[in-house]
């Protein structure tokens, strides 16, 4: 096997260019002193200033933040439970229910929850329906991460805890939870990012009330394209970048601690 | 004593699996069932649904259940055509993603661990930034004022061909679809390729296989599970996508997703929208089933 095959390298460089050039353009144009996304005129921070004076946009950002916090909290709780249950017990129904929303096209989930809320609950669509819809599809992502962590662990740790007289709750609180914590946090971060970025499901479950960030961005793109879109895009990219790096750190820390951590906790 | 322990175990099991199960039954299973029911109802006069309890001056039959929505779908070829077109777009996107992702995945899998992690992170990063923004970026690049448009049209002009608009075309939709879904192809492929034993390639080389033979007869067959899971991860979401055609496509580039969206948020014909969603679900299920079956038979053969 040869390392540094020039064909592979050039193909890879092209793909990376394809992935990154669009995003770099967006970032660059957010500093462009022109109404048009065409020619570089000069450097300005005007679009950021315009963004911070846009009250509708700020409200939308606040709402999206609230939704993402609530959805990621409930999804982490339910997703961790699902991950544990699927790993430990032979369940038939739960895995199907947990993983299907992840695998199917988002539009189907959005539409069915829209119908459900309007017909059965006779409920006005709004923040609550968005939070519930986001929770439904985030549970699966958390469960996948938590289960993967559990699969890599030595079962005898839990048996040891039980042999030493720990109740199931004690075993969970003192042994299992500390061990799966990195996965739980990574799942929470993932749910948060998924929720704050989600457009399709939000689009169907939002109702007519409060402004929500992805919807505001969509309207801006469809109706009036100003470089303000570039500015908010750049800020959002920065936010996700930070979250991803934290999640990646946690995950790599978790895997490198694998050998030492169990011994410490089960003394 | 043992009985008490059993009870405790049962209780623990119920406490752990009960809440997520309950939540998903209420907010995932029930809505899906409602959608099936809705697809067999009559649409209301002002959108939504006709009432179940009829006003006295109306014929009762009109408010029962009906397969009108499904019949309507097959009454006009235009809907079948949109379905077929969506399949074609999904297939094209999957194929292009596979061609772009494969060399990259091979390179990542063969790199040293440190570089490998960095390269994977570099694939995930753009995928983590907002989905609308990634589509919007192509609006800038393909827009009539963009450098790319100017370049393409100057080039075409030199050959005496009339200028073209890149944005709002099937081409733009395909580019957007590929861009948004590419990481879904790279990651499963890389995960699969990483597990291959490099000594197999050395053995093939020792036995006189050239680079092409080594790829075609060793790497490719072994990577089929990765190819199938990546393809499913790209094909299925593309099938239901409406935002990309909405933003990058012209008015003529409608896919299933756009059709469904319009039934719920535009025309407000819930039964027809639900029927379309059910048919999309069936399409997705058959694609998933076929992929699994295909993957199993293709990889099973290798094992023998």
Answer yes or no: are the C-beta atoms of B208 and A182 closer than 8 Å.
Answer: no
Closest residue by Cα to residue B106 from B241, B217, B215, B12 = B215
User: How far is the C-alpha of B108 from the C-alpha of B116, rounded, in Å?
Assistant: 5
Interface contact flag, A233 B130, Cβ < 8 Å: yes
Average pLDDT over residues B141-170: 79
Per-residue DSSP letter, A173: I
Q: Cα–Cα distance between A202 and A151 in angstroms, integer?
A: 33
Q: Which pLDDT belongs to residue B204? A: 81
Q: What radius of gyration do chain B's Cα atoms show?
A: 25
Q: Residue B212: helix, strand or coil by DSSP?
A: helix
- Pull the structure tokens for residue B200: 């197999």
**Residue entry with tokens 């309007």:** A118
B98 in reach of chain A (CB within 8 A): no
Show the DSSP H helices in chain B as ranges. Answer: 2-24, 30-39, 68-75, 77-110, 113-128, 131-142, 147-158, 170-194, 198-206, 211-214, 220-240, 243-248, 256-265, 270-303
From the list A239, A242, A227, A226, the residue with the least C-alpha distance to A27 is: A227
The rounded distance, in Å, linking the Cα atoms of B23 and B226 is: 32
What single-letter DSSP state applies at residue B266? T
Chain-chain contact of B128 with A243 (C-beta, under 8 angstroms): yes
pLDDT tens string A231-264: 888 888 888 788 777 777 776 665 555 444 444 4
Cα–Cα distance, A45 to A31 (Å, whole number): 6
Instruction: Say if the Cβ atoms of A88 and B16 lie within 8 Å.
Output: yes
Per-residue pLDDT tens digits for B203-258: 888 887 777 778 788 788 888 888 888 888 899 889 888 888 888 887 777 888 88
A146: contact with B, CB 8 A cutoff: no
Lowest mean pLDDT among A22-31, A225-234, B258-267: A225-234
Whole-number Å distance between alpha carbons of B41 and B63: 7
**In chain A, where are the structural domains located?**
54-252
Residue A45: which of A26, A25, A58, A31 has the closest Cα? A31
Percentage of residues in chain A having pLDDT higher than 90:
9
In this predicted structure, the answer to whether residue A42 has a pLDDT above a threshold of 80 is no
| 3-class state of residue A155 by DSSP | coil
- Chain-chain contact of B38 with A115 (C-beta, under 8 angstroms): yes
Choice between A186 and B278, residue whose per-residue pLDDT is larger: B278
**Which ipTM was obtained for this model?**
0.83
Element of type H or E holding A156: helix A156-163
Query: Given B24, B49, B134, which is nearest A98 (Cβ)?
Result: B24
Q: Comparing C-alpha atoms, which of A212, A180, A85 is closest to residue A139?
A: A85
Residue B119 Cα to chain centre, angstroms: 24
pLDDT tens per residue, range B80-133: 888 888 999 999 999 999 999 998 988 888 888 888 888 888 888 887 677 888
Q: Are B115 and B199 in contact, with CB atoms under 8 Å apart? A: no
Find the angle CA(B139)-CA(B142)-CA(B145) to the nearest 5 degrees. Answer: 95
* C-alpha distances in Å from residue A221, one per residue of A31, A106, A225, B43: 18, 21, 5, 32
Band (B265; pLDDT cuts 50, 70, 90): confident
pLDDT of amino acid A135: 92
- Chain A to chain B, count of Cβ pairs less than 8 Å apart? 239
Q: What is the SS3 assignment for A39?
A: coil
- HSE-CB for B200 with a 13 A CA cutoff: 14
Q: What is the model's pLDDT at position B61?
A: 47
The H-or-E segment that residue B173 falls in is helix B170-194
Q: Which residues of B touch A240 (CB under 8 A)?
A: 128-130
For residues A125-130, give the mean pLDDT: 85
Mean pLDDT for the stretch of residues A114-137: 84
pLDDT at A266 (0 to 100):
37
Q: What is the rounded average pLDDT of the residues B67-80?
A: 82
Cβ neighbours around B22 below 10 Å, total: 11
CB B234 within 8 A of CB B181: yes
Query: Which range among A32-36, A157-161, A261-265, B65-69 has the greatest average pLDDT?
Result: A157-161
A256 interface with B at CB cutoff 8 Å: no
Helix-then-strand count for chain B, H and E: 14, 0
CA dihedral (A41, A42, A47, A48) in degrees, to 10, reads 160
- The token pair that represents A125 in the structure block: 């669509």
**Residue B203 half-sphere exposure toward CB, CA atoms < 13 A:** 8
- CA A80-A86-A90 angle, 5° bins: 155
pLDDT at A257: 52
* Averaged pLDDT, B181-200: 85
Mean pLDDT of all residues belonging to chain B: 81
Write out pLDDT tens, residues A60-118: 888 888 999 999 999 999 999 888 888 888 788 888 888 888 888 889 999 998 888 88
User: pTM for the whole thing?
Assistant: 0.84
CATH architecture of A54-252: Orthogonal Bundle (1.10)
What is the enclosing helix (H) or strand (E) of A141? helix A127-151
Determine, for residues B130 and A94 on separate chains, whether the beta-carbon distance falls below 8 Å: no
Distance in angstroms (rounded) separating the CA atoms of residues A170 and A181: 16
The pLDDT of residue B53 is: 53
């Amino acid at each position: 096997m040869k390392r540094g095959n020039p064909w592979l390298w050039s193909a890879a460089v092209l793909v990376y260019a394809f992935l990154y050039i669009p995003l770099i353009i967006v970032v660059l144009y957010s500093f462009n002193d022109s109404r048009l996304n065409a020619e570089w005129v000069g450097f300005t921070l005007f679009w950021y200033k315009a963004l911070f004076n846009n009250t509708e946009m700020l409200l939308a950002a606040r709402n999206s933040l609230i939704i993402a916090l609530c959805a990621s909290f409930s999804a982490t709780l339910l997703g961790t439970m699902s991950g544990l249950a699927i790993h430990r017990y032979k369940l038939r129904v739960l895995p199907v229910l947990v993983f299907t929303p992840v695998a199917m096209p988002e539009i189907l989930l959005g539409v069915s929850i829209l119908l459900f809320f309007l017909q059965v609950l006779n409920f006005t669509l709004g923040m609550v329906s968005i939070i519930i819809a986001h929770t439904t599809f985030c549970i699966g992502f958390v469960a996948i991460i938590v289960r993967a962590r559990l699969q890599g662990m030595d079962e005898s740790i839990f048996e040891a805890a039980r042999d030493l007289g720990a109740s199931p709750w004690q075993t969970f609180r003192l042994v299992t939870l500390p061990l799966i914590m990195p996965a739980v946090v990574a799942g929470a971060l993932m749910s948060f990012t998924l929720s704050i970025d989600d457009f399709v499901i939000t689009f169907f479950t939002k109702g007519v009330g409060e402004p929500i960030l992805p919807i505001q961005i969509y309207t801006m793109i469809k109706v009036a394209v100003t470089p303000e879109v570039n500015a908010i895009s750049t800020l959002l990219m920065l936010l996700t970048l930070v979250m991803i790096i934290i999640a990646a750190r946690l995950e790599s820390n978790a895997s490198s601690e694998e050998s030492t951590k169990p011994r410490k906790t089960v003394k | 004593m043992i009985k008490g322990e059993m009870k405790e175990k049962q209780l623990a099991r119920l406490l752990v699996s009960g809440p997520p199960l309950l939540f998903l039954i209420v907010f995932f299973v029930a809505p899906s069932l409602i959608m099936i029911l809705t697809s067999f109802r009559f649409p209301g006069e002002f959108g939504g649904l006709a009432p179940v309890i009829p006003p006295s001056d109306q014929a009762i039959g009109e408010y029962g259940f009906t397969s009108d929505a499904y019949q309507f779908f097959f009454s006009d070829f235009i809907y079948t055509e949109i379905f077929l077109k969506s399949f074609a777009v999904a297939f094209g996107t999957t194929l292009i993603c596979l061609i772009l992702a494969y060399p990259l995945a091979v390179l990542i899998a063969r790199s040293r661990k440190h570089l490998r992690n960095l390269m994977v992170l570099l694939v995930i990063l753009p995928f983590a930034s907002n989905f609308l923004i990634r589509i919007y970026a192509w609006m800038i690049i393909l827009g009539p004022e963009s450098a790319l448009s100017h370049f393409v049209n100057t080039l075409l002009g030199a050959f005496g061909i009339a200028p073209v608009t890149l944005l709002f075309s099937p081409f733009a939709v395909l580019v957007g679809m590929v861009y948004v879904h590419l990481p879904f192809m790279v990651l499963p492929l890389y995960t699969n390729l990483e597990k291959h034993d490099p000594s197999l390639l050395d053995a093939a080389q020792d036995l006189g296989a050239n680079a092409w033979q080594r790829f075609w007869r060793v790497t490719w067959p072994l990577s089929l599970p990765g190819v199938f899971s990546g393809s499913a991860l790209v094909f299925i979401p593309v099938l239901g996508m409406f935002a990309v055609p909405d933003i990058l496509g012209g008015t003529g580039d409608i896919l299933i997703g756009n059709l469904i969206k319009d039934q719920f948020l535009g025309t407000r014909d819930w039964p027809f929208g639900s029927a379309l969603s059910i048919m999309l679900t069936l399409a997705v299920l058959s694609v998933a089933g076929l992929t699994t079956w295909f993957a199993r038979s293709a990889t099973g053969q290798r094992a023998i």
